[in-house]
Chains A and B, each alone.
Chain A
Amino acid sequence: DVKVTQSSRYLVKRTGEKVFLECVQDMDHENMFWYRQDPGLGLRLIYFSYDVKMKEKGDIPEGYSVSREKKERFSLILESASTNQTSMYLCASSLEGIRGYTFGSGTRLTVV
């Protein structure tokens, strides 16, 4: 089974901190994605990557950046955390879109 592992289940950070959310997949998938999930808004795409060192903005990239130095790892970076970035963050990977995604368990981030 494909596994997508997110390094932290819960995180509490202070406003202004630089925050790293890590995601690792073990099935050699080309595509990786970061979403945030908020009540009433569903899943919103932040960034995605089709290959190593490659990234594309999603629907809500402001305040975020990403890094993909190795195929299996896709990091989401909050350059200066703000309280409106308190959310559930979900990482996913896929071989191709029509096969669907495999998701990680999510990281619930609270910025205080």
Chain B
Amino acid sequence: AQKVTQAQTEISVVEKEDVTLDCVYETRDTTYYLFWYKQPPSGELVFLIRRNSFDEQNEISGRYSWNFQKSTSSFNFTITASQVVDSAVYFCALSEVGAQKLVFGQGTRLTINP
């Protein structure tokens, strides 16, 4: 069965600190996709990244970076030099090939304090 675990319920840091959000997943498939979504206070979940199971290269997009490690079934998300606008709930999700549903983690509420 598929499962996504985000063990950190809430994280609070001071602006400009680096912060890492953890995501651990379980799947029996060898081919799958992993996602991160951001939910700002406005409510709409915004797509951040999709990564397939064959591509273990780390990805960097501005202050955001993602570390995918199949050996530990983890897909962690790091924000460098955090800003107040990064405050949101972040969700990690998993989809297997052929499945139409995404399985979501419980979400991590990130608060960046000025």
Which residue numbers of A lie inside 8 Å of B, CB to CB? 9, 31, 33, 40-43, 45, 48, 50, 58, 88, 90, 92, 94, 96-106, 108
Contact = CB atoms under 8 A, between A and B. Distances in A.
Contacts of B37: 103
Contacts of A108: 43
Given A42-B105, A98-B52, A101-B102, 11 more contacts: A33-B101, A41-B106, A42-B6, A43-B107, A88-B43, A98-B33, A98-B50, A100-B50, A103-B46, A105-B42, A106-B43
Interface of B: 6, 9, 33, 35, 37, 42-47, 50, 52, 91, 93, 95-102, 104-107
A97 B96 contact: yes
Given A31-B100, A50-B100, A105-B43, A100 B95 contact: yes
A45 B100 CA distance: 12
Contact of A99 (B9, B50, B105): B50
B interface, over-half SS? loop
Contact of A94 (B46, B97, B100, B106): B100
Contacts of B101: 33, 45, 48, 58, 97
The 5 lowest CB-CB distance pairs between A and B, nearest first, are A42-B106, A106-B43, A103-B45, A97-B95, A105-B44
B5 to A, nearest CB: 10
B91 A42 contact: yes
Contacts of B43: 9, 88, 90, 105-106, 108
22 contacts: A42-B104, A42-B105, A43-B104, A45-B101, A88-B43, A90-B43, A90-B45, A97-B95, A97-B98, A97-B100, A97-B102, A98-B33, A98-B95, A100-B35, A100-B50, A100-B102, A101-B45, A101-B102, A103-B44, A104-B44, A105-B44, A106-B43
